[in-house]
A and B are shown apart, each in its own frame.
Chain A
Amino acid sequence: MDRVAGDGDPRIDIAALRAQRLGIVAVHGRFPSLGAAGLLLTACGGPLSILDPATAPTERIADLWWVMLAAALLILAGVMLLFLLPFQRDGRSRPVSARAYLLGGGIVFPVVTLTVLLVYALGFGQWLLPRPLEDVVRVEARGQQWWWEFTHENEQGEPVRVANALHLPAGRPIEVTVVSADVIHSFWVPRLAGKLDAVPGHVNVLRIDPAEPGTYAGVCAEFCGLDHAEMRFSVIVHPAEDYAGALAEAAAETR
């Protein structure tokens, strides 16, 4: 892996390597006893992988995926079995209970499974929403064709604007205000949080809780015209005590 984000800053390459190592460590940390599963999960790694989460919410989403995948495979196997078995019988047809099929398979089964999924998902979605908190760090992400302008606030309350790199402190709740200067974009850092659209005329707020310092890759997820594919950025999470220094350094570079 030679680079993560679209800016050619050499510091980011080192940080990216560190992030990759951290990712693998995290994977083995979560599933220490499952060697094969660990290997599989390493294959699922990658700087933009949903399956290599780095925060508590994204980890829960990834776990939800694995559970849903297992359930879906079971259901698919069951349906295919019901489809194929009648072909195996030779000779007479036999009457089956239409009621069992239609009521059981068509109504009861989906109602029960979907209700369970829905109740869980709604509670989960509610938990993910940004709630008023003290100690919140607010930053702004402004999407425009075809780059991101990130505005931070330093300790003096002055704005620090950086192109295509968002600096965050680890261990503190972050609120990213996602806005757009022109067309619709979408702010997405898969390992940190789900995506949120930048819609002109709207102000959307995304909550992130970065735990581990490192560099995380982000992309624009909503098609925004000619160079949509190039609209990459990185999120650099610094240890909390280094944050002020990092912002000052970024401000100096921008000037």
Chain B
Amino acid sequence: MSALLPGATPLARHRQLAAIWRNPGGWGRFSAVNHTILGLRFIVTACVFFLIGGILAMLLRTQLATPENPFMGPAIYNQVFTMHGTVMMFLFAIPLIEGIALYLLPKLLGARDLAFPRLSAFGYWCYLFGGSMLLTSLVLGIAPDGGWFMYTPLSSATYTPGINADFWLLGITFVEISAICAAVEFTVTVLKVRTGGMSLDRMPLMAWYLLVTAVMMLAGFPPLILGSILLEIERAFDLPFFDPSRGGSPLLWQHLFWLFGHPEVYIIFLPAAGALSTMIPVFAGRPIVGYAWIVCAIIALAFLSFGLWVHHMFTVGIPHLALAFFSVASLLVAIPTAVQIFAWLATLASGRPRLTVPMHFVMGFFFVFVAGGLTGVMVAVVPFNWQIHDTHFVVAHLHYVLVGGFVLPLIGAAYYWLPQITGRRPVHGLGRIAFWMIFIGFNLTFLVMHLTGLLGMPRRVHSYAAGLGWELPNLVSSFGAFLLAMGFALFAVDLVLQLRYGRRSRRNPWGAASLDWSIPRPPTAYTFASLPRIEGRDPLLDDAGLPAAIAAGRGYLAEPPAGQMETLGVAVTSGRPDQVIILPGPSFLPLVTAAGLGVFFVCFLLDLYRWPDWGCGPGLWGGCSVRDGGTWSVWTATSIAKEQP
């Protein structure tokens, strides 16, 4: 049944779609499943955790600024450095990626929402509740203190009695449920939920990056979840998986942890690289050079990244031949990275690049990430690794890779996409100042930290003696860290100013070619008034009138049947429309399910092993409801889509 006549005005279409896709207000906000809302919730929550992780980092640098500093004792210091790493990796980086992908994917793919909106909502609540558990432990002073890597047997019940480690194992497992949900969601969405005509080789590169990231998450997170469950079972029920005195193996934990932990680095890097592959062509004013090269490179990267986890374990006494294998793999992984770097350089060289605010951060990325990659090659060299492993050299290296390969590109991406999110223009001067403060502060902190490591300072020490040559570099690092923090603060101020005082932005202010800039800004709940048919990789360059055509309903699904949230399902490779997907609407079930799961985890945490039955009840009930009422059962073809709009 079509409620709209074919000749309806864009305004009438907008009103009807907005009514169908309306997000509930008041308490109903807890039932939202819309990707734009959930994406922003993930992003804001992740930024709050970044703030917390950043404050922890400032505490660490305060403690290490001077030798024999009485500011923190080892008990507190161990909690602070453990939580800094844990918060940044699990509660900031991964959820931020999920948020960005949730927000952007349908807009890039020409879809109205993701494949399983209620699954995204469930993932968000798992993330929020799991993160809150960890935060609670921090506030109560009983936070995990065994390092973010939780090596056994130190983290076993014998050497870490008490509840601290359980917070980590259960909280992180809870949070990782959201990562698995997101991975399933993104994989299906990229493969099936696109607009008509968008074949795989016409997808924006960002979608390729997120697809590969999602598949890596599907393969990479289970080892961590398995390891966490085994260790929690060992701690709770004394089954000695990792206890060498009873036939267990402490190295099994390291293998499971790094089998997750190394791909994790690339899971974090790839979406940021996707943002770079999006921004660089726009600011160079020409399409990306080597699209197919980049796609091949990231697939190769995904495979290789699962074959080099042992380079975190070069000093545990593994035979040299095995080390050689992983050393080769660690160096090999530099090749697909180099392909991407040179594809970006070629794009810049063949265009006329503009040094905008986002491009400042791209420049920062090039310097910091390439430097981090080069020290990465050094640490993959086995004899050198035997010296600098577990020193501050490695701390410096990993911050070069993660801040250079993730934080800097994403701040650039924030400046790039904010006009799309808020519909406002940035206050430009501040962005440049923030960049230079972050760039100089970062290098002061971490460039000098390489030297601290070479002078022999081990990681994870709360205090050090004077006279070892470490005083000056540590003081410089601490000074740089505070400059860095002020740079981030200035970036936050700039965001608030833009939201509050920024002038209205034009549509597509940067002259981008992808579909995310073809819709109204800020985005409407239904995203696309009609789904455009795509004929090439750069739809907005091919047809400048596309935004008007979308609004005027000259695309797929322009006349929605009353009350049904429709989007298009396409054939995986060709992008030929083959079904109309009716998506489920807002629901409290994801919240109820996550809350039930939360009861289960809290009961386990408090050693109430009979109680989890009670927690399981609502959890399982909610889970079944999500499945039956929410996602799969309505995910059927209701009509065969027309070939042409």
Contact = CB atoms under 8 A, between A and B. Distances in A.
Nearest to B323: A125
Nearest to B73: A226
Given A197-B317, A223-B154, A46 B74 contact: no
B497 interface: no
Contact of A223 (B147, B293, B391): B147
B350 A200 contact: no
Contact of A93 (B146, B285, B371): B285
Interface stretch (B195-203, B328-336, B560-568): B328-336
A101 B460 contact: no
B323 A95 contact: no
A72 B374 contact: yes
Given A126-B320, A196-B315, A183 B342 contact: no
A65 B378 contact: yes
Contacts of B286: 93
A24 to B, nearest CB: 13
Interface stretch (A29-37, A148-156, A214-222): A214-222
Interface stretch (A83-91, A133-141, A165-173, A244-252): A83-91
Q: Which of A2, A65, A204, A222 has the most CB of B within 10 A?
A: A222
A101 B249 contact: no
B65 interface: no
B501 interface: no
10 contacts: A44-B455, A82-B349, A83-B345, A86-B353, A91-B352, A111-B335, A114-B331, A190-B387, A195-B386, A221-B458
A102 B387 contact: no
A124 B323 CA distance: 13
A186 B146 CA distance: 16
Interface of A is mostly: mixed
B338 A229 contact: no
A194 B390 contact: no
B217 interface: no
B81 to A, nearest CB: 9
Contacts of A83: 345, 348, 363, 366
A228 B388 contact: no
Contact of B370 (A61, A79, A85, A109): A79
Contact of B349 (A58, A101, A186, A227): A101
A195 B466 CA distance: 23
A253 B317 CA distance: 33
A4 to B, nearest CB: 9
B327 interface: yes
Contacts of A225: 78, 146, 154, 159-160
Contact of B334 (A49, A114, A197): A114
A58 B387 contact: yes
Contacts of B353: 86-87
A194 B331 contact: no
A101 B154 contact: no
Nearest to B450: A69
A106 B378 CA distance: 19
A51 B454 CA distance: 7
Interface of B: 74-75, 78, 146-147, 151, 153-154, 159-160, 244-245, 249-251, 284-286, 289-290, 293, 297, 315-317, 320, 323-324, 327-328, 331-332, 334-335, 338-343, 345-346, 348-353, 355, 363, 366-367, 370-371, 374-375, 377-378, 381-391, 451, 454-470
B627 to A, nearest CB: 42
Nearest to B248: A201
Contacts of B462: 229
Interface in A27-76: 43-51, 57-58, 60-61, 64-65, 68, 72, 75-76
A121 B352 contact: no
B144 to A, nearest CB: 13
Contacts of A128: 383, 386
Interface centre among B324, B335, B461, B466 (most CB of A within 10 A): B461
A117 B331 contact: yes
Contacts of B159: 145, 182-183, 225
Given A117-B331, A200-B250, A68 B381 contact: yes
Contacts of A204: 316-317
B327 A122 contact: yes
Given A102-B339, A199-B250, A45 B469 contact: yes
B454 to A, nearest CB: 5
Contacts of A48: 455-457, 468
Contact of B74 (A61, A104, A229): A229
A76 B290 contact: no
A124 B470 CA distance: 29
A101 B348 CA distance: 11
A193 to B, nearest CB: 8
Contact of A200 (B75, B153, B383, B456): B153
